[in-house]
Amino acid sequence: MVTKTEDNQLNRLENQVDNGGGEAWEYLCLVRKLKLRRSEKVLRHGLSILNDPKKRSSLGPDEWTLYEQVVVAAMDCQHLDVAKDCIKVLQKRFPESKRVGRLEAMLLEAKGLWDEAEKAYTSFLEDNPVDQIIHKRRVAMAKAQGNISGAIERLNKYLEIFMADHDAWRELAELYVSLQMYKQAAFCYEELIISQPTLPLFHLAYADVLYTLGGLENLQTAKKYYASTIDLTGGKNTRALFGICLCTSAISQLTKGKSKEDKDKSQVQSLAVKVLEKDYKQRAPDKLPQVTTALKGLTLSS
């Protein structure tokens, strides 16, 4: 996750290089460090260095790192000829490199030569079954072909090896949601919450999935996780506040006023309504009447 300081530094450097103020190499290093894909800018500023013999030679061994960074950016931007030319330079310098071989396979993928790319990736995995990059490329390739079930299968196999990869769990959850496989998505979010319990994003996503599944138990649990999202965000998550109201209303309908929550008129819901109305009054007063009407429809009857 990019910190506010890093984001400010990135924006400052980006403004400088975009306006011809230098620091292109520092900017490219920061993009790489933060694992961002500013592909158009990386391609433009990277080539400005590589095409200048003096600047390129000043990099020393980092020249080859920049070539690799430009290759990926060029493929992202569909400048496949540029990617091919850079790969040729790397091949000449590192003729037996598996890393360069991966770039070649990625170029096949970028060209839509799926079968050839798959053969190359399979070969790499035979040599090194725990190559994370290749596993991820195979997932991405399945997604690119619209094969979501195939991507899910490959992600599950990947997570059998790399169980601590939070990004993979999140992606798997989102793929399950796209196929309306909410129980499986819920399991993924449970794994994420266990490993990163203070991140409100996962609490919110888990609550959304449980609310979608419905049923009294799921709704009650969803309400708890909407509440924890509100707590973790200092009471400022609008979606979670609406979630509290929706869950309370749905629980009321299922229990027909018999639950303790309904008899207490849900203090949590009342607080959520007040916060939402205050927020919209300050931020979007023109929408306040609509929001108030909607919330009244969800409020428990006396």
Provide the pLDDT for residue 302: 35
Q: Residue range 219-239: average pLDDT?
A: 93
Residue 176 sits in the same domain as residue 271: no
Residue 204 sits in the same domain as residue 295: yes
Tens-place pLDDT, residues 242-298: 899 899 889 988 887 555 555 554 667 777 777 777 777 777 777 777 777 777 777
Residue 108 sits in the same domain as residue 67: no
SS (H, E, C) the chain: CCCHHHHHHHHHHHHHHHCCCCCHHHHHHHHHHCCCCCHHHHHHHHHHHHCCHHHHHCCCCHHHHHHHHHHHHHHHCCCHHHHHHHHHHHHHHCCCCHHHHHHHHHHHHHCCCHHHHHHHHHHHHHHCCCCHHHHHHHHHHHHHCCCHHHHHHHHHHHHHHCCCCHHHHHHHHHHHHHCCCHHHHHHHHHHHHHHCCCCHHHHHHHHHHHHHHCCHHHHHHHHHHHHHHHHHCCCCCHHHHHHHHHHHHHHHHHHCCCCHHHHCCCHHHHHHHHHHHHHHHHHCHHHHHHHHHHHHHHCCCC
Q: What is the mean pLDDT of the chain?
A: 90
Provide the pLDDT for residue 132: 95
- Name the amino acid, one letter, at 50: L
Provide the pLDDT for residue 116: 97
Q: What percent of the chain has pLDDT over 70?
A: 94
The Cβ of residue 8 has, within 10 Å, a number of other Cβ atoms equal to 10
Provide the pLDDT for residue 301: 43
Provide the pLDDT for residue 258: 59
Tens-place pLDDT, residues 25-49: 999 999 999 999 899 999 999 999 9
Burial grade of 150 (CB within 10 A; 0-12, 13-18, 19 or more):
middle
Residue 40 sits in the same domain as residue 88: yes
Provide the pLDDT for residue 259: 55
Boundary of a domain, candidates 146, 173, 197: 197
Residue 182 sits in the same domain as residue 223: no
Residue 101 sits in the same domain as residue 187: yes
Residue 85 sits in the same domain as residue 124: no
CATH number at residue 184: 1.25.40.10
Q: Residue range 166-181: average pLDDT?
A: 97
Residue 137 sits in the same domain as residue 152: yes
Q: What percent of the chain has pLDDT over 90?
A: 72
The answer to whether 276 and 241 have CB atoms below 8 angstroms apart is yes
Boundary of a domain, candidates 197, 232, 254: 197
Residue 203 sits in the same domain as residue 168: no
Tens-place pLDDT, residues 131-153: 999 999 999 999 999 999 999 99
Residue 174 sits in the same domain as residue 220: no
Boundary of a domain, candidates 197, 215, 248: 197
Residue 44 sits in the same domain as residue 65: yes
**Largest separation between any pair of C-alpha atoms in the chain:** 78
Domain that holds residue 9: 1-94
CA distances to 120, 191, 238, 286, 302 from 273, in Å = 56, 31, 10, 17, 16
Residue 217 sits in the same domain as residue 297: yes
Q: How many domains would you assign to the chain? A: 3
